[in-house]
Structure formats: C-alpha cells, structure tokens
Amino acid sequence: MKFIDQIGRCVNLNGIPKRIISLVPSQTELLFDLGLESHIVGITKFCVHPIHLKKTKAIVGGTKQINIGKIKSLNPDIILCNKEENTKDIVEACEQICNTHVSDIFNIDDSLELINQYGLLFNKKEEAQIIVKSIQKKAEDFKTFIQKKTTLKAAYFIWKNPWMVAGNNTFINCMLGLNHLINVYDTQNRYPEIELKNTAINKEVDVVLLSSEPFPFKNSHKKEVQAFYPNAHIVLADGEMFSWYGSRLTKAFVYFKKLRLNLEAFQAL
C-alpha cells in the first residue's frame, strides 16, 4: 500500500503498522485517542499526554535530538515525524530504519487531514472520523461565538533570551486569527527574534500572550513584558491549546471561549 504524507513523500506499507514510534507530542496524544496505545513502542520526553505513557513506553530522546540506537532496538514499523518539530537530519535517519511519515500543519484543515491519514494508516477510520467531527462541530460553534467579538491586536511570545514570537506561516498564527487576534508580528516569517523596545506599535497592542511552551513563562515575567506593552493585557497562555494539533483541538475551543471572556473583562475595566 502506497501512502503520501503531508510533505508529498511516498510511504510504502506492506500492511497496517503495529509498532509505532512518535517523535511529536501532539501526535502521540492523537495516537492514544485513536485507541492505539498498545501499538506505541517509543515516544519523546516531551510526550506528556497522557502522562502515564512516559512510564510505560520507551523514551527515545526529544524532538530535536534522538537516540538512533534505541529507536532501532525497538524494531518499529513506522516512525511519525513533523516538518517543524523534527529536523531534516532526524527524518533522514529515521528513513534508514523503517517507513517514516512526516506531517506539516499550518491550519485546521491540515490537522483534520492528518487525523484522517492516521485513520487510514492504522485502520482507525471510524475513530478518526469521530474526532474530526467533534473538532468541526466545536470549531463552528466557536466561529459563531467569536464572529461579533472585537478584533484585538496581539503578540504571542514563545521564548526568552532571545525573545521570540510567533509570526506568519505558523499554526499559532492561524489560531490567533480564529480568535480575532491580529498578530502584530505576522509580517515576519515563522518564529522571529525580536528586541523589546518602546515603540509606537507596542502601545497599540491589546493583548500579549506568554506561552507555557516551549519556554515556560510564569507570572514573574509579566511585569518585565508589561513595561514594553503599556496598554496590553498580559496573559499566560496555554501553549498546547495554540500549538498542539490533532485531538487536542477537541479541547482548544472551550479554552478559547474562556480566554475571550477574560480579555473582555479586562477591556471593560
């Protein structure tokens, strides 16, 4: 069976893969929600949902550095990667071991496509469709909720030292747009480094989102950022809701509603 992944690579399968290694946390969670826990043999140290997998599955490294020897010893049928999360070298090394599927996610449609692809790959079509339909329903409900809400200018920080934000051509940027949040850094590509300066555009920013990952922003960072965005509401954002695709999207839109209500309460002050 020939299968085309999300970056156009042909994956040749002799049958349904039974031994799976996932090098992407959000995809590990998706595998579990598809009912494939017993087939997962290896995950990364960042695969924290569900948390018990870190005790029951082999840890093969992170998303940028992997233990090739350990991966080989697990005798996988397929390795699941992502173009953004994993490096080209990692993908090429995995290809030398077994079939390797690479996802590439920029928006909700890409996410739904991936879920359906896993449904086909692992003979979980019905389970995949249940997740897809749940996400579609919740997304439509959220669009109704958000359609008359005020559009706000936003900045989304992912790292400190150096300061880095989410720019254009990212899944995060797509999620900001769904929340009627205009990304003030969307003229820059991917995840640009920026310098915190007191500029005219900073004064126009309504909300600054400090993500919980990959840098674990805390309350202690709010004051530091507030000095450069004097009129903005500084919010600690759940990074998983903005950057994890797959089945995490079944929870994201409830979170987004609560976030909007929080922002409205601040705007009313």
Q: Decide: 124 and 36 in contact? Cβ < 8 Å.
A: yes
Average pLDDT over residues 83-108: 97
Specify the DSSP class assigned to residue 225: H
- The pLDDT confidence band at residue 26, using thresholds 50, 70 and 90, is very high
Within 8 A by CB and 6+ apart from 133, the residues are: none
Please report, rounded to a whole number, the percentage of residues in the chain having pLDDT higher than 70: 99
- The pLDDT confidence band at residue 199, using thresholds 50, 70 and 90, is confident
Q: Decide: 145 and 81 in contact? Cβ < 8 Å.
A: no
Q: Is the pLDDT confidence value at 256 over 90?
A: yes
Q: Is the pLDDT confidence value at 266 over 80?
A: no
Separation CA 252–CA 229 (nearest Å): 26
User: What are all long-range contacts of 129-134, with beta carbons under 8 Å and residues at least 24 apart?
Assistant: 131/30, 131/33, 131/34, 131/247, 131/250, 134/250
What domains lie within the chain, and their CATH numbers? Answer: 2-104 (3.40.50.1980), 145-267 (3.40.50.1980)
Average pLDDT over residues 96-118: 97
Q: Is the pLDDT confidence value at 249 over 70?
A: yes
Strand order in the sheet with 78-82: 58-59, 40-43, 20-22, 78-82, 99-103
Q: Is the pLDDT confidence value at 225 over 90?
A: yes
pLDDT at 198: 80
For 85-96, what is each residue's pLDDT tens digit? 999 999 999 999
Specify the DSSP class assigned to residue 75: -
Average pLDDT over residues 240-247: 96
Which pTM does this prediction carry? Answer: 0.94
- The pLDDT confidence band at residue 269, using thresholds 50, 70 and 90, is low
Average pLDDT over residues 228-244: 96
Separation CA 193–CA 157 (nearest Å): 10
pLDDT at 3: 87
- The pLDDT confidence band at residue 1, using thresholds 50, 70 and 90, is confident
Q: Is the pLDDT confidence value at 105 over 70?
A: yes
- The pLDDT confidence band at residue 16, using thresholds 50, 70 and 90, is very high
- With tokens 């994890």, the residue in question is 244
Average pLDDT over residues 238-262: 97
pLDDT at 200: 78
For 128-143, what is each residue's pLDDT tens digit? 999 999 999 999 999 9
> Is the sign of the CA dihedral 95, 97, 99, 100 positive or negative?
negative
Average pLDDT, the chain: 95
For 146-173, what is each residue's pLDDT tens digit? 999 999 999 999 999 999 999 999 999 9
